[in-house]
A and B are shown apart, each in its own frame.
Chain A
Amino acid sequence: MIRTALLVAAKDLRIERRSRVLLWQVLPFGVMALVLSGLALGPTHAGHSSAGPGLFYLVMLLVALLMINRSQVIEGTPGTQASVATLGLDPAGVFLGKALALAVELWLTGLVLLGGSVLVLHTALVGTLSALPSVVVTLGALAAAGTLYGALSGGGQGPATLLPVLSLPAFSPLLIAGERSFSAALHGGGLWRWWLISLVALVAYLGVGILLYGVLEES
């Protein structure tokens, strides 16, 4: 399972490195969405750091939707899916590999957008840095959930409009947990509850993915 996971993750990341979709399409979208969030708040509130954590995670969710779709689309045509299916890869390993690659991409994007939130939304640098561990866990859970919902919504062959309605309700606790722990890192306050939410979600999605990804692949 681990061998398959590493193989699939390396393949997905290599494809991303070649195609540069993340760099030239997804990241600029994320930066623009962050700027638009500031504009939407209006001149009085745009530089108000208390909105920063929430806007960061809202933008991350939008970026994640694009990346989840991309993660499924790179599986290619039905012909590619058919020939890969005949390789007999362990579905649990495929799930873990795709989730790991997506997590790496989300972490990289998150890093850039955290810098963006310091710059344009004026979140304190030290607080933002101390929020990094919780951002890593929350985005990891987002990657695991996103990989499952990506496969559910049709594996790159289904309608792109299905993914948001399926996945956004499941992302809502991650948005809450992420925003709260980021805010706690900035302004102080209890953290353990929000860590717990993100960790429980991470473990639950990994568990369900390992158990049920094969069921989706049967499709």
Chain B
Amino acid sequence: MMKLLSQRLLGPVTLVLLALTFWLGLWVTPPDKVQGNLARLLYVHPAIAWVALYLSFGTATIASALYLWKRSRSLVMDRVAHCAVEVSLVFIILTLITGSLWGRPTWGVWWAWDARLTSTAILGVFAVGYLAIRRANDDVEQRARRSAVVAILAAINVPIIHFSVQWWKTLHQGASVFTPGGNFKVHGIMLTTLFISLAAFTLLFFWLLRARYRVEVVRDERQRVSLDEALAQRRREGVH
């Protein structure tokens, strides 16, 4: 019952929260004292980045680790990891676009050698590599094993890349939401909008993941049917 309810409600609730985020972010909240209307990107960029860098890559990493662990090895985990990386790539691209939109008026350039921007772009190439290795392997088990290892290596690389680029050079705006002491920098309706946006994009991730997973299940089922046909045809070669 609960499962059915959550399945039915996930889409509508996501859409309502997204609409609420945009309404609050664009019309209700006031412009920032320093950054003006540019600060409205705060209501989408951190939430998109949270999905791209933590939620979806985290999901892919856990699913890949569960696939590699023999006791929990199942193609369900492989499918979850694959779908999560695809969704992650979309959100990484959105992170880079929204980051650039903020960077152009702030830094004066579309691309700056900033730690988070650079490491996000590198992570995007990791995601492309993950999807490339899947296309290069036809065998289901081999593809699952290799791509799981690629995902684990990418996860290990995330902190290494992050610190190396951060130490290399950083321009990125400091923490926008929290002070170093852990207290909130933004208040009132702005903070509420920020939390709604985080909830909206988190739900959007799960909604997209579920939709993508369903496509993959249908594709696998279709492949199974075509394999049955191929098997029957191959057996006929033996009979004649």
Contact = CB atoms under 8 A, between A and B. Distances in A.
A136 interface: no
A32 interface: no
Contacts of B122: 169, 172
8 contacts: A148-B153, A153-B133, A168-B125, A170-B153, A176-B168, A177-B164, A204-B156, A219-B142
Contacts of B128: 165
Contact of A212 (B125, B129, B149, B160): B149
Contact of B132 (A162, A218, A219): A162
B44 interface: no
Given A159-B136, A166-B150, A212-B68, A173 B157 contact: yes
Interface string A191-202: 001100100110
Interface in A170-190: 170, 172-173, 176-177, 180
A173 B160 contact: yes
A143 to B, nearest CB: 15
A155 B132 CA distance: 16
B94 interface: no
Given A154-B136, A218-B145, A219-B146, A170 B157 contact: yes
B146 A197 contact: no
Interface of A: 148-149, 152-154, 158-159, 162, 165-166, 168-170, 172-173, 176-177, 180, 193-194, 197, 200-201, 204, 208, 212, 215-216, 218-219
Nearest to B128: A165
B161 A173 contact: yes
Interface residues of B, number: 30
Contacts of B125: 165, 168-169
Contacts of B139: 219
B164 A173 contact: yes
Given A197-B160, A204-B160, A152 B168 contact: no
B82 to A, nearest CB: 16
B91 interface: no
A215 B149 contact: yes
Contacts of A208: 149, 152-153, 156
B159 to A, nearest CB: 9
Contacts of A152: 133, 146, 149-150
Contact of B167 (A168, A193, A200): A193
Contacts of A165: 125, 128-129, 132
A173 B119 CA distance: 10
Interface string B108-152: 000000000000001101101100110010010110011011101
B208 interface: no
Of A169, A193, A204, most buried by chain B (CB within 10 Å of CB) is A169
Given A172-B164, A173-B160, A176-B168, 19 more contacts: A149-B153, A162-B136, A168-B125, A169-B125, A169-B126, A169-B157, A170-B154, A173-B164, A180-B168, A204-B156, A208-B156, A212-B68, A212-B152, A215-B145, A216-B145, A216-B146, A216-B149, A218-B145, A219-B139
Nearest to B68: A215
Contacts of A215: 68, 145, 148-149
A149 B152 CA distance: 12
A218 B68 CA distance: 12
A200 B163 CA distance: 11
B142 to A, nearest CB: 4
B85 to A, nearest CB: 13
Contacts of A168: 125
A166 B161 contact: no
Contacts of A159: 136
Residue among A152, A168, A204, A219 having the largest count of chain B Cβ atoms under 10 Å:
A152
A111 B164 CA distance: 25
Contacts of B146: 152, 216, 219
Going nearest first, the 4 A-B pairs with the smallest beta carbon separation are A173-B164, A166-B129, A169-B125, A219-B142
B39 interface: no
A149 B126 CA distance: 12
A159 B154 CA distance: 21
